[in-house]
Amino acid sequence: MKDKLRKWREDNCRNSEQIVDVGEELISEHASKLGDDIWIIYEQVMIAALDCSRDDLALTCLQELRKQFPDSHRVKRLAGMRLEALERYDEASKHYDAILQDDPTNTAARKRKISILKAQGKNSEAIRELNEYLEQFVGDQEAWHELSELYINEHDYGKAAFCLEELMMTNPHNHLYCEQYAEVKYTQGGLENLELSRKYFAQALRLNNRNMRALFGLYMSASHIAASPKVSAKVKKDNMKYAAWAATQINRAYKVSHINTFPTEPVKTVFHHTQLSVPYRHISHIEHSDK
């Protein structure tokens, strides 16, 4: 059980129900045999317990951690997280303020304060605080991603795209960032944005050819470009090929997966009406051709 918890920590798995099941038994029956590993296990189980609304278990873990580390900022942050779970946001914020008074550079406490604003539906304030945070900690990728999601929730797609561009600059091989950027450009609409969207969906697929969202995105963006009256005959023909290739790959993937409930007929209907009938074999061309 101890090894299982360690594996989940190393893999950064947030499978909270399983952690609670395994961890509760481990700390109740074998705590004395775990040595110093017990403290990281208490923390892991406490966070999982908060996810599962098990305040009794979370409090048990917190009390043990407080006894061992009475002045720890990390334990104080865990206490604040418990208050957040109980929706006692003002008290939680005071916990984080106390941490920041002792250590103004404590990024975890600042992020928790922003999470409180999100939980309270104060997105504008959360955006302001995140921007101020990023002025000091510009390399925090998690914060950039959080800010992009906040902007998307506010339908400010231009600023969301900027955040994702920052992430792609530092993580050019992350297929999820490429996919999310493509989705934002697709949502913005307009021919130029659709062309960018298609290129970044293609890049996401080059980085991970099993990314089905990117494959669907490639199909949709290429189909819309092909249907635009503003494009030349060559651009229309090329994008029909790209959409045809994507549709073929989508159907093939679902057949291989034996997913019989996938609605292939509507895709075939769209495929037929847009005359997308020629499979396209080389996805690397998709990123560079246009106009």
Q: Greater confidence, 290 or 23?
A: 23
DSSP, residue by residue, 68-120: H-TT-HHHHHHHHHHHHHTT-HHHHHHHHHHHHHH-TT-HHHHHHHHHHHHHT
Angstrom distances, CA of residue 284 to CA of 129, 148, 209, 228: 40, 28, 12, 23
Number of continuous H segments (helices) and E segments (strands) in the chain: 15, 0
Mean pLDDT (the chain) is 88
Least reliable range by pLDDT among 99-108, 143-152, 271-280? 271-280
Task: Give the mean model confidence (pLDDT) for residues 200-212.
Answer: 95
29 within 8 A of 50, measured Cβ to Cβ:
no
Enter the tokens of residue 40.
Answer: 């990281």
pLDDT in tens, 228-245: 999 999 999 999 999 999
- Which band of pLDDT confidence, cut at 50, 70 and 90, is reported for residue 291? very low
Question: What whole-number distance in Å separates Cα of residue 70 and Cα of residue 114?
Answer: 25
Backbone angles phi, psi at 15, to 5 degrees: -90, 75
**Continuous segment of H or E residues that includes residue 212:** helix 212-227
Name the 3-class secondary structure at 290: coil
Please tell me the predicted confidence (pLDDT) of residue 194: 97
Q: Which residue has the tokens 């700390």?
A: 27
Q: Of the candidates 78, 120, 128, which has an alpha carbon nearest to the alpha carbon of residue 99? A: 78
Per-residue pLDDT, 4: 83
- Name which of 43, 97, 33 is nearest 66 in CA terms: 43
The per-residue pLDDT for 257 is 72
Q: What is the pLDDT of residue 258?
A: 60
Of all residues in the chain, what percent carry a pLDDT higher than 70? 88
d(CA 260, CA 249): 16
From 28-32, 39-43, 287-291, the region with the lowest mean pLDDT: 287-291
**Structure token digits, residue 49:** 């317990």
pLDDT at 281 over 50: no
Given a contact cutoff of 8 angstroms between Cβ atoms, the answer to whether 247 and 216 are in contact is: no
The answer on pLDDT for 56 being more than 90 is yes
- Taking only the tens place, the pLDDT of each residue in 174-191 is 999 999 999 999 999 999
> Residues of the chain with pLDDT > 90: what percent?
74
87: left (phi over 0), alpha (psi -120 to 50) or beta: left
Neighbours of 201 (CB within 10 A): 32
Task: Please give the Cα distance from 290 to 161 (Å, whole number).
Answer: 22
| Gyration radius (Cα) of the chain, Å | 24
Angle at which helices 233-256 and 212-227 pack, to 10 degrees? Answer: 150
Report whether pLDDT(159) > 90: yes
- Write down the pLDDT at residue 255: 81
Taking the C-alpha atoms of residue 21 and residue 152, their distance in angstroms, rounded to an integer, is 36
Instruction: Give the pLDDT score at 34.
Output: 81
Question: What is the dihedral angle through the alpha carbons of 93, 15, 61, 40, rounded to the nearest 10 degrees?
Answer: -100
Give per-residue pLDDT as tens, 217-230: 999 999 999 999 99
Give dist(CA 215, CA 57) in Å, integer: 43
157 near 151, Cβ under 8 Å? yes
